[in-house]
Amino acid sequence: MKVFITGAEGFVGGHLIDHLVARGHVVYGTTYSEGLIGSHIPSGVDIRQCDILDADSIARLLAELQPEAIVHLAAVSSVSIARSRPAATAQVNILGAFNVLQAASELGHKPKVLLVSTSEVYGSVAESLCPITEHHPVQPQSIYAASKASAEVLATFFERSREVPVIIVRPFNHTGPRQAPTFVCSAFARQIAQIEAGLVEPVIHVGNLEARRDFLDVRDVAHAYTLALDKAKSGVIYNICSGRAVSIGEILEMLLSLSDMKIDVEVSKDLLRPLDIPLLVGSHERFTEATGWVPTVPLAETLEALLMFWRGRVG
């Protein structure tokens, strides 16, 4: 299959490329800037510089490449960055999604589109209603979640009115090697690696440790997206999750247990979110029934790989 990935240079994009190439797919992708293309991108993968806010550019590129499937990953994906740049987040996450969907609808054949949303669209959900299924109402509580929910509405329009086969996935938290330190697990791992290397004082700065989240390994996510392209039904929304909640404090304890250093923990007000969802845990029953997918990488293994990645980067 010829697969086109927007945001191919990003965290999930790189792992998805690895997964698709290993299975014999032909992969093309976009990057916002050629300078962002990392050495982890396999040779032979054609990555083009293209701003998804430039409707003409994305349309010309899709018309040239004629992909059979599109995975739309390009987005402002950090809640904290989105909070500090709300207008840019709305533009990239809503208008960018529209441009990709519009360009796909204009092709002679209609490629399958995998629109990557987020579990954040569910907002705060009472523990008695967890794990969250796809039937739960969407109630975004951040500009990031609102922008992603808006992109879902656009995708539904293109699926129903323009006959573009769109699959929407709502991934819950995921982590692993190569994740940016703007995300909590990677932020912890980088700080520990810096402390071990003697670059900073032995104090790790944290935000809210009581929030509970549903974490997956990024490699399980890449596998899920690959299966979604092959087996999931268009017009359907799927949760991608582990089905198990773990507190941020537990994540920190697991990472600290991998280091021989004595490290103090200090809560930083700057890292506390104005509105933090206390619990976010999902059910992947619908996706498993459709594709046979189940998560396979234990969280402890994921966190060890993440810490090893940062040790290699800061050492």
Please write the tens of the pLDDT for every residue from 267-300.
987 776 666 799 999 999 999 999 999 999 999 9
Q: Are residues 102 and 159 in the same domain?
A: yes
Question: Could you tell me the two tokens for 194?
Answer: 């810096």
- Can you give the pLDDT at residue 269? 78
Average per-residue pLDDT for the chain? 94
DSSP 122: G
Average pLDDT rounded to a whole number, residues 140-148: 97
The closest alpha carbon to 26, from 45, 41, 7, 47, belongs to 45
Q: Are residues 44 and 124 in the same domain?
A: yes
Q: Are residues 136 and 270 in the same domain?
A: no
Average pLDDT rounded to a whole number, residues 238-261: 97
Q: Does the pLDDT of residue 177 top 60, yes or no?
A: yes
Q: Does the pLDDT of residue 135 top 70, yes or no?
A: yes
Q: Are residues 208 and 228 in the same domain?
A: no
pTM of the model: 0.95
- Can you give the pLDDT at residue 151? 98
* Separation between Cα atoms, residue 34 and residue 39, nearest integer Å: 12
3 state SS of 208 = coil
The closest alpha carbon to 218, from 56, 66, 19, 5, belongs to 19
**At 249, which CATH number?**
3.90.25.10
- Can you give the pLDDT at residue 38? 55
Please write the tens of the pLDDT for every residue from 5-30.
999 999 999 999 999 999 999 999 99
Structural domain count, the chain: 2
- Can you give the pLDDT at residue 276? 78
- Can you give the pLDDT at residue 36? 46
Average pLDDT rounded to a whole number, residues 168-175: 98
313 or 41, which is more confident: 313
Q: How much of the chain is helix, strand and coil, in % rounded to 5?
A: 45, 20, 40
Q: Provide the edge-to-edge strand list for the sheet that holds 46-49.
A: 46-49, 26-31, 2-6, 69-72, 112-116, 166-171, 237-240
| Residue 270 domain boundaries | 184-212+245-279+297-314
Q: Are residues 208 and 219 in the same domain?
A: no
Q: Are residues 87 and 134 in the same domain?
A: yes
3 state SS of 4 = strand
Q: Are residues 13 and 125 in the same domain?
A: yes
* Separation between Cα atoms, residue 189 and residue 258, nearest integer Å: 10
Percent of the chain with pLDDT over 90: 90
Question: Could you tell me the two tokens for 62?
Answer: 């899709």
Q: Are residues 26 and 167 in the same domain?
A: yes
Q: Are residues 111 and 144 in the same domain?
A: yes
- Integer CA distances (angstroms), 269 to 156, 181, 207, in order: 39, 18, 7
Please write the tens of the pLDDT for every residue from 78-117.
988 999 999 999 999 999 999 999 999 999 999 999 999 9
Q: Are residues 252 and 155 in the same domain?
A: no
CA dihedral (55, 180, 4, 296) in degrees, to 10, reads -150
**At 149, which CATH number?**
3.40.50.720
Q: Does the pLDDT of residue 40 top 80, yes or no?
A: no
Question: Could you tell me the two tokens for 73?
Answer: 């990953």
Average pLDDT rounded to a whole number, residues 61-69: 97
* Separation between Cα atoms, residue 150 and residue 98, nearest integer Å: 10
Q: Are residues 207 and 229 in the same domain?
A: no
Q: Are residues 146 and 272 in the same domain?
A: no
Question: Could you tell me the two tokens for 66?
Answer: 């004629």
